[in-house]
Chain A
Amino acid sequence: MVAGVLAPASVDELGGQLRDLDAHHRMMIRGLGSTLPSDDDRIVVDTMALNRFVHRVDDFSVTVGAGVLWSALQEQLARVGQRVAVDPPGVGTVGAMVATGARGGLIHRYGGVRDQIIGMTIVLADGTVAHSGSTVIKNVAGYDLAKLFAGSRGRFGIIAEVIFRTRPLPETQRTLLVPARPDRVRALVHEILGAHVELSALDLVDDTLSCLVEGGHEVIDRRLDRLMRALPDTATERLDEPQSLAYWSRLRDLQFPVEGGLVFSLSARSTVTLDLLPMMRSTLGSSLAALVAHVGAGVVEVSVAPGGQAHRLLELREMLSCAAGEIRARHPLCSFDFEIPSSALVTHPPSAEARAGSTITVRLLADRIGMALDPNGRFR
């Protein structure tokens, strides 16, 4: 049984509730879907009532409570022709999407969710309410707490409100599907990127490169023609708007865990990820449910089937460190659980460090930050 549920309706109420709690009581943040083991005695902070929504249409920014559903946010924005340029898989609250560092194919052009946030209100374990950023897109005052909290999976505190930069919703979209045998992928990616057509997404799934082109009605077909002309020897397939929408929705689903499965995410130099893809496929074999590579961004989502996940994780890690020695990977369902020593990120190995304790891992630094913001480890 959980020890209790807090369901604050405002940021200040949440701050007050946390201040009143016994400082050692452990907590768990819940958006839409998190499930807790029934024997856990944590206090649940349910964010669903944090549902403020203030859209400054002309300024292209929106303030939104952590409990608002991601889909509801996008629907509201779409009514006035705007969006937050992130297309994550699955359903969930804004807080959850931010806390898990959500992203989809649009990462190619716009970056991840962290890159769309211009302000954030957080509540720390002791009830401290803190803000960073503001409603303007350009702002360098103070530390960027939003970056710290994006992808932190609730380790440092509660994301209560987020201010996003919004962007114009493109008038229309097309997709070009480019068959890409493993030995041709690299050359094709190079040709596609060299075509001077700005892509919104470039994903590789099942030997097909998917190029998403978004923009105005008047020029979009000419732009797609141009992309095709850059690939003269390849039998490409064009998807019109409805087909394209359906296609990307299917790709999003592939990035969501299958029943009982997990999705691992890897982030590395894009050429390195390309080189590793065939190896990932063969190593994971039949336990691979799907593999979606955002190839230009160097980010790969690996969905594995249930069973032997710890083993799969180790295999993957082993392969990454052998093959590249420069990738840190994350395991989105259990925080940054596994990590390769951070000394080996780029191909210039640092000279032998002179003294013990001279390097630390990201994990350790994150733990220190956790200690500073949540000294009693309530969110650990």
Chain B
Amino acid sequence: MAASRIDILIDRLRSSVERSSLILEAAERQAYSCDGLTSHRAVPKLVIVPASREELIASVRAVIDVDLPWVARGAGTGLSGGALPDEEGVLVVTSRLKAILEVDPISRIAVVEPGVVNLELSKAVLPHGLYFAPDPSSQIACSIGGNVAENSGGAHCFKYGFTTHHVLALELLLPTGELLWLGSEGMDGPGPDLRGVVIGSEGTLGIVTRVVCRLLPLPEARRTFLAYFDSVAAAAEAVSDVVSRGITPAAIEMMDHLAIAACEIATGAGLDTTAQSCLLLELDGEADEVAQEFLSVRALMDLHGSSHVWEAANEEERALMWLARKAAFAAAGRVAPAYIVQDGVVPRSALPRVLEGIGRLGVESGLSILNVFHAGDGNLHPLVTYDPSIEGQEALAEEVAAKILTLCLEEGGSLTGEHGIGVDKVCHMPEMFTADDLTTFERLRGAFDPSGMCNRGKLLPTPRLCGERPGRYQPHPLEEAGLGERW
């Protein structure tokens, strides 16, 4: 049945969209089979890459008309499988919708298409002394539509907030085919904040077709430095102390000994690999205030026994520090052939306890766990490394990763701080939410998507999904040779 609907759809689309907007070849569709969560793959029946907003709207409506399931995709950098295609349906990719439609430097807003790459917007508004604050580490590639869907944050979100604080309005094509604007071009729109409901909804409530972004002025001054400690607990306490003194650094990142060592090998940035932990702190804002805060923070680092501090003397050194911090994921590959990254969140005061717990899990399992994370907001990114060629180690790593999430939830935290639920954590949802919470989410979703065809199987657990556990993807030799696919 589905096959014939697809044929009808393709037939209709051929007359309404550019030829180049349709990807029909199996081998080409294969390229879209996963997002950043490469352990889950599915090949969609059809990929549409609309050339314009009008094409996007027309083609999604055509998909809705033939009643096929569909999934939106931006740049495909998501880490929870949010853009994993539906094998019975259509993948709609926004990567060609890259126009910055308008910049209003006085009102400090920009109107953009959803496929605009995060960093490109900041570059475009730089001449006005402005930037788009959400800065996920993937910002050279990820799209603003994807940021909206995931409510993305970045290293600087402790001070500046998440995408939801920087997107004022959005135009949404509902799963019913209807189009509407949510939010307003001011800071606080009228009535219930449906804009805020859509932000972070992981592509389950429709596809975002235009976005009004709030822009911030570039900070006048910035100071970045690394402080080393003899223990993880001391660094964690230093973080709490800084924050409780009323100082809000733009970023407070933390690495443990294993992460420092791995990042140093990967980048040669000059990190002190003898330290047990380090904090990367960045203060920004008005010059006077930053100077004052720097003195206070330096004193607090000393107070908490920081062995030494390396302050970036210039922009190159600052870039080097960030490079080292952001190399953690790649560096994990040097510790072991594979790793699982978690994204749990805990209240800041629980950091020392939870880190200790993670350390214990590492010792008990014999797996190396690198800790590198956004300490200001308690968002952990433990990298549980393992060797898939050793029998049972992958399952062990998954078990350890799951236990880390349990630790986070026991402290009143969250399953995910920025990567989203997607398919990856969908079966963990009942650990964080009650049955009533989940039914309420379902009722809300149903109001947007009564037929349940938009990114189905994501975000909310279903018995069909969570009865079974997906294994790590093993491409079949036929698939590797491009000769066959899993349907």
Contact = CB atoms under 8 A, between A and B. Distances in A.
Nearest to B293: A216
A147 interface: yes
Contacts of A345: 169, 171, 181, 184-185, 212
Interface string B155-185: 0011001101100010100100111111011
Contacts of A357: 178
A20 interface: no
Contacts of B444: 143, 145, 148, 369, 372-373
A359 B173 CA distance: 9
Contacts of B188: 101, 103, 107, 111-112, 114, 151, 267, 297, 299
Contacts of B190: 151, 265, 267, 328-330, 336, 339, 362
A231 B162 CA distance: 33
Nearest to B460: A142
A31 B242 CA distance: 38
Given A128-B439, A152-B192, A372-B444, A140 B180 contact: no
Interface residues of B, number: 99
B379 interface: yes
Contacts of A351: 54
A328 B102 CA distance: 20
Interface stretch (A131-139, A238-246, A280-288): A131-139
A40 B475 CA distance: 67
A41 interface: no
Interface in B280-305: 285-289, 292
A218 B292 contact: yes
A348 interface: yes
Contact of B181 (A58, A60, A343): A343
Contact of B440 (A124, A326, A329, A368): A124
Interface string B349-388: 1000000000000000000000000100111000000000
Interface residues of A, number: 107
B345 A136 contact: yes
Interface string A163-175: 0000111110000
Interface stretch (A89-97, A190-198, A203-211): A190-198
A81 B243 CA distance: 12
Contacts of B481: none
Interface stretch (B23-31, B197-205, B326-334): B197-205
A157 to B, nearest CB: 9
Contact of B447 (A216, A297, A359, A371): A371
Nearest to A101: B188
Given A223-B289, A346-B212, A358-B179, A138 B186 contact: no
A142 B437 contact: yes
Given A111-B187, A114-B193, A144 B349 contact: no
Contact of B109 (A152, A269, A373): A269
A330 to B, nearest CB: 3
B375 to A, nearest CB: 11
Interface in B102-129: 102, 104, 106-109, 111
Interface in B424-454: 425, 429, 432-434, 436-437, 439-441, 443-448
B196 interface: yes
A129 interface: yes
A350 B178 CA distance: 13
A130 interface: yes
A272 interface: yes
B420 A346 contact: no
B429 A141 contact: yes
Contact of A223 (B162, B199, B200, B286): B286
Nearest to A143: B441
Interface in B309-364: 345-349
B377 A136 contact: yes
B377 A138 contact: yes
What 5 A-B pairs are tightest by C-beta distance, nearest first? Answer: A147-B196, A298-B186, A330-B190, A168-B246, A336-B191
26 contacts: A56-B349, A114-B188, A114-B196, A130-B434, A130-B440, A136-B345, A137-B158, A138-B379, A139-B414, A141-B433, A143-B200, A144-B151, A145-B440, A151-B193, A152-B191, A273-B186, A336-B191, A343-B180, A345-B184, A348-B102, A358-B177, A358-B179, A362-B180, A365-B180, A369-B194, A369-B447
Given A140-B417, A197-B286, A362-B190, 18 more contacts: A57-B244, A115-B165, A128-B439, A130-B440, A134-B432, A136-B347, A136-B377, A136-B417, A138-B345, A140-B200, A147-B196, A151-B192, A198-B289, A269-B104, A297-B186, A365-B194, A368-B448, A372-B447
Interface of B: 54, 58, 61, 101-102, 104, 106-109, 111, 150-151, 153, 157-158, 161-162, 164-165, 169, 171, 174, 177-182, 184-197, 199-201, 210, 212, 217, 220, 240, 243-248, 285-289, 292, 345-349, 374, 377-379, 412-421, 425, 429, 432-434, 436-437, 439-441, 443-448, 459
